């Protein structure tokens, strides 16, 4: 029971999780206002403004730095991990989303393929650099405040 109590009181766990939840709810509300469509799947979906992945890893890095020191190995680990996640969001995952968009168009074009597809590929996988930047800025601000 003590381990559970320590986990739920660990700012490096609950602050990033709450930040993720707020950002994902913001995306649902934005989708509702913009397209008049309630898409509850956005709560767990990837992509969009701002990047919740970037916000989470940056808030963790700042929280770890504040708690253990900005000259520690664990802060360096959290920071390097944050950069890897942000690079992946704008690089690999964004490219995969672009490829999914093209493949969906090919599969929708009559006569181009005989492949039967049950569902479309997910196109909103990655982030633009500005989405990552805004997410990172939010994470740094939230980490600094709490």
The pLDDT of 60-72, averaged and rounded, is 98
Q: What number is the average pLDDT over the span 123-133?
A: 83
Q: What is the pTM of this model?
A: 0.82
pLDDT classification of 135: cutoffs 50, 70, 90? very high
Q: What is the pLDDT of residue 17?
A: 96
Q: Sign of dihedral through CA atoms 60, 65, 70, 71?
A: negative
pLDDT attached to residue 124: 67
Mean pLDDT on 44-70: 94
Residues in contact with 68: Cβ distance below 8 Å, sequence separation at least 6, in sequence order: 74, 75
Six-digit token pair at 18? 């709450």
Q: How confident is the model at residue 50 (pLDDT cuts 50, 70, 90)?
A: very high
């Amino acid at each position: 029971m003590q381990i559970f109590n320590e986990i739920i009181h660990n700012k490096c766990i609950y602050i990033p999780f709450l930040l993720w939840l707020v950002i994902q709810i913001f995306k649902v509300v934005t989708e509702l206002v913009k397209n008049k469509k309630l898409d509850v799947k956005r709560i767990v979906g990837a992509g969009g403004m701002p990047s919740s992945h970037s916000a989470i890893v940056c808030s963790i890095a700042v929280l770890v730095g504040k708690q253990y020191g900005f000259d520690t190995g664990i802060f360096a680990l959290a920071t390097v991990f944050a950069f890897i996640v942000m690079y992946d969001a704008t690089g690999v995952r964004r490219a995969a989303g672009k490829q999914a968009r093209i493949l969906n168009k090919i599969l929708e074009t009559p006569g181009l393929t005989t492949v039967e597809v049950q569902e479309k590929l997910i196109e909103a996988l990655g982030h633009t650099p500005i989405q990552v930047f805004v997410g990172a800025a939010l994470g740094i601000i939230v980490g600094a405040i709490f």
